[in-house]
Amino acid sequence: MLAGGRLGRLRRRFYYFAHPGPFFKCYLFELAVSDLCRLVWLVGVFIISQRHCLGHRPLGRPRTAIHRPPQPGGRFFYSGLLAASAGAINARILRVKQQTITIQNLPGAWQDKTIVQISDVHAGAINKNRWLEKMADQINALNPEAIFITGDYFDGTSHDFARLASPLARLRARSGVFFITGNHETYLDTATALDALRASQVRVLDNEIIDLAGLKIIGLSYGQGQTKTLIGLLEQAKTSPAPKILLYHIPRLTAEAKAAGINLQLSGHTHRGQIFPFNLMTRLIYGRYHYGWHQDGAYHLNTSAGTGTWGPPLRTTGAPEITAITLKAQN
């Protein structure tokens, strides 16, 4: 397979560029930012070390005052170094975002229960098992009834899927852990990756509708050119009067979801831009749904900022998040 374990880093990146998804142009820019951040870091360290070295005068030579004019370039690098450092720290601190939703005809079994969404974990070369285990423990502390992973669990930089999926076996949710694919799962040996998730007690929903104690869970897989299939599944869900939760990696099909009577759509993909100015680009592509919690009558949508990072381990727009949603019956 093209994206197999022997595929080098450059070829994997080229594969990302070649993908026909609407977001592929952002990959090129984000990789450029990754390299720029590394350059800023290295140059900043070089400037600091050089100034430190130049501050030592030879023995016997008198100290002379040297007045240097301000250096705009130096200020730029120091500012960039500071921003990169802050972004690196921000990217490693998971926040819990709390929400409450009222749902008509909510089954009594779900009253005051918490469901958890994580998205875009990007387990791989950056987000390794130790960090993933901490994430799982933080989720368990929320005492969730169900956990939904809305795509891009794997990053694609490592193909040891079994090892990267193993921290998910730590998750504890009475009604289960559920997963839908994101675009990054399509860059991999998808079947092997999904088998690794199943081995860690994660249920993969592949364009299907399941009943979960009176809630209808609709899991749509990521894929190009299957909009008719997805809309057909939503039309099928429309026939049920039960409350419905839609899992779909990208924040699209919102009009179709509303028409199908979806109560809650959980999406991700955008990372809230992750690094400025890409948040402006995601807003341009996805409009007001590019991030956050939205409500239109009985329909609610949460677009997660993502739990991990893609590309450089930096976040200057928003923070990595776990979303905990408390369900309540509408009076």
Q: What is the mean pLDDT of each run of 10 residues along the chain (331 residues)?
A: 42 39 40 47 49 48 57 60 70 90 96 98 93 98 99 89 98 98 92 97 97 97 84 92 97 95 97 85 91 96 94 85 97 75
Task: Determine contact, residues 137/170, Cβ cutoff 8 Å.
Answer: yes
Q: How far is CA 170 from the centre of its chain?
A: 20
Task: Determine contact, residues 317/272, Cβ cutoff 8 Å.
Answer: yes
pLDDT at residue 302 in the model: 98
Residue by residue, DSSP assigns 20-65 as: -STTHHHHHHHHHHHHHHHHHHHHHHHHHHHHHHHTPPPTTPPP--
pLDDT at residue 183 in the model: 94
Q: pLDDT of 208-239, one tens digit each? A: 999 999 999 999 999 877 788 889 999 999 99
Q: What burial class does residue 331 get, using C-beta atoms within 10 Å of its C-beta: 0-12 exposed, 13-18 middle, 19+ buried?
A: exposed
pLDDT at residue 311 in the model: 82
pLDDT at residue 33 in the model: 45
Q: pLDDT of 86-111, one tens digit each? A: 777 767 789 999 999 999 999 999 99
pLDDT at residue 317 in the model: 82
Question: What is the chain's alpha carbon radius of gyration, rounded to the nearest angstrom?
Answer: 23
pLDDT at residue 122 in the model: 95
Locus of tokens 């070089």:
46
pLDDT at residue 158 in the model: 79
pLDDT at residue 23 in the model: 39
Q: Determine the Cα–Cα distance for residues 154 and 161; give it in Å rounded to an integer.
A: 8
Residue 48 carries which side chain, given as an amino acid letter? I
Q: What burial class does residue 9 get, using C-beta atoms within 10 Å of its C-beta: 0-12 exposed, 13-18 middle, 19+ buried?
A: exposed
pLDDT at residue 272 in the model: 83
pLDDT at residue 28 in the model: 42
Task: Count CA within 13 A, CB hemisphere, residue 289.
Answer: 20
Q: Determine the Cα–Cα distance for residues 11 and 165; give it in Å rounded to an integer.
A: 24
DSSP class of 112:
T
| Token couple for 173 | 């949710």
